[in-house]
Structure 1
Amino acid sequence: MNTTTGGLGWMYDRDLPLHNLTFARQINARELLERMGVDQNTMAMREQDHFHYELGGHLYTDDGYVVSAGHYRSWAWAWEHGSWKGIEDRGLVPRASIGTAALELPASEKPGAVFRYAEDGRLTTGLGTTDSSLARTGSDPHRFDTEIQALGARPEEYEYGPRGSLGMFYRLAENLGVGLPLDDLNDRPVLSGRLLPPSLAVTAESLNTRAAFPRLGSTGRSADSLEGFDHLDQQRALSFVPISVTSSRMLLEPGWQRRHFSSSR
């Protein structure tokens, strides 16, 4: 029986398609997408029929980078439909967290579950179960140990509780206050677009930030952190030069996503 009452409750025990979730606190959905490197030419508020007509051909493809975004309480959320830019671009979550907090939560057990939490441009805690054991990174890798123990999990003994490692990460995320209403994703008009692929986003970013970040190439600074740069330089890091990614207007079968997600409601 599912006793979950948090903002991700509908996601538990579901065979969801490959996707990636990013959250940021106290910023709006449009700003979150901008921080993630959205192609400005594709970002718009779309009715569900228009969403499927304009972006349906790219859904659940590795190179589609289709993203939807919205709000839940004090958090903005962004759902990547099949792409993994949050994983491929190691600096994305720290960028999204500048001046606030951000969280990345890939929603798939294969190849493993990941939980990455950042504050003010710095990766605070990274947790991953890609090798069965719990790998830890970040400036405070044990920050959530008390919460993990409260869930009855013992990661060092390969025990993640009754819902597995992904369920454990969902609960940690819900404890932070994040959520994603299924109706907002599936039925209501949604802010959506396509993210620039990591290679294009890095190229675009470098045009704006090479002068502002002369130290990046010489210090070996990790992409997981923007710590050490002043606020103005950090904001410049978010100013991507728009690069158009052509959107195919292929038509996905109408209502497919709605039926897929609603089948076990």
Structure 2
Amino acid sequence: MSTDGVEWLEDSAFDEFGYCVTFARGLSAVELLRRMGCDTTNTAGKTPTDANHWIEDVADEFGHRAVADKESVIRAGEANGWAFAVEDAGIRGIDHDVLAVVSTATVAMSTFRNVNALTQFLYVESGKVVCAFESAQVRDGTDPDRLVPYLTRAGLLLPDGDEPDLGIGERQRLVQRMMHTEFGATLPREDVENGELLAAMY
């Protein structure tokens, strides 16, 4: 069982160029990739560096037509009953249509940050965005108040419902800590940062 949590993302190389990490409960890594629209007929184990060069490498070897319809690569794995998908500077995991498919008959969550310090958290069940926010005080979704107890325990909301004065990095850490402590989601750091994870193109 991995106890690395999620908040280490804010202290990693992923923070420099942005990241999007999506979790789906009870799925396999390959099924999560499939639901995110990846070509799962062609998967391979890839480190972050290898994944970032994969499309270019295939184009060099087989010609650009071989990857003409491909935009990027997602790496995926499994830990603590969740599948996770890691996008380096990607946004697919915060696309509501993508998450509707990912969360079919299950629960999905995403944490996102880009180079401009824009952030997003989404909690989705069975195709419906239950709660989504950049600021925990300004929430959207079909039941945006459902996570209020979790947000309060995490320190993202004060007991009166106001939001504490948090920097972006601190807020992201608290969101990601909540994902771990309240829902059990975790990212095995060594595997994600340096190891090979199952990768596929979309």
Same-fold status (TM-score > 0.5): yes
After TM superposition, list the pairs within 5 Å mapping 1:247-262 onto structure 2: none
Contact persistence 2:75–2:85 (CA under 8 A): yes
Larger radius of gyration: 1
- Equivalence map 1:67-106=2 (5 Å): 67-87=74-94, 89-106=95-112
What one-letter code is carried by the residue in structure 1 that aligns with 2:164? E
TM-score, normalized by length of structure 1? 0.60
Structure 2: gaps (5+ residues):
59-69
Displacement of 1:45:
2.4
Equivalence for 2:130: 124
Counterpart residue number, 2:19: 19
Q: CA deviation at 1:160?
A: 5.6
The alignment covers a number of residue pairs equal to: 182
Aligned-residue offset at 1:113? 2.1
Q: Tell me which residue corresponds to 1:176.
A: 183
Q: Distance in 2 between matches of 1:149 and 1:70?
A: 30
Structure 1 counterpart of 2:61: none
Cα deviation, 1:51-70, whole Å, max 9, x if unaligned, reads 46524779xxxx94221100
Contact 1:152–1:160 (CA<8 Å) still a contact in 2?
no
Q: CA deviation at 1:13?
A: 4.0
TM superposition score normalised by structure 2: 0.76
* 1:187 to 1:24, Cα distance in 2 relative to 1, 3 A: same
Superposed CA deviations along residues 179-224 of structure 1, whole A, max 9, x for unmatched, are: 11122123333211222xxxxxxxxxxxxxxxxxxxxxxxxxxxxx
Whole-Å Cα distance in 1 between the matches of residues 6 and 74 of structure 2? 18
- Gaps of at least 5 residues in structure 1 are 196-265
Amino acid aligned to 2:196 = P
CA RMSD of aligned residues (A): 2.9
Ranked by relative contact order (alpha carbons within 8 Å, sequence separation 6 or more), the top structure is: 2
* Structure that is richer in strand per residue: 2
Name the amino acid aligned to 1:35.
Answer: R
Give aligned-pair identity as a percent. Answer: 25
Q: Quote the residue 1:159 is aligned against.
A: 164
Deviations 1:47-89 (A, max 9, x none): 537546524779xxxx9422110011100000112221223x3
**Is 1:188 equivalent to 2:173 in the alignment?**
no
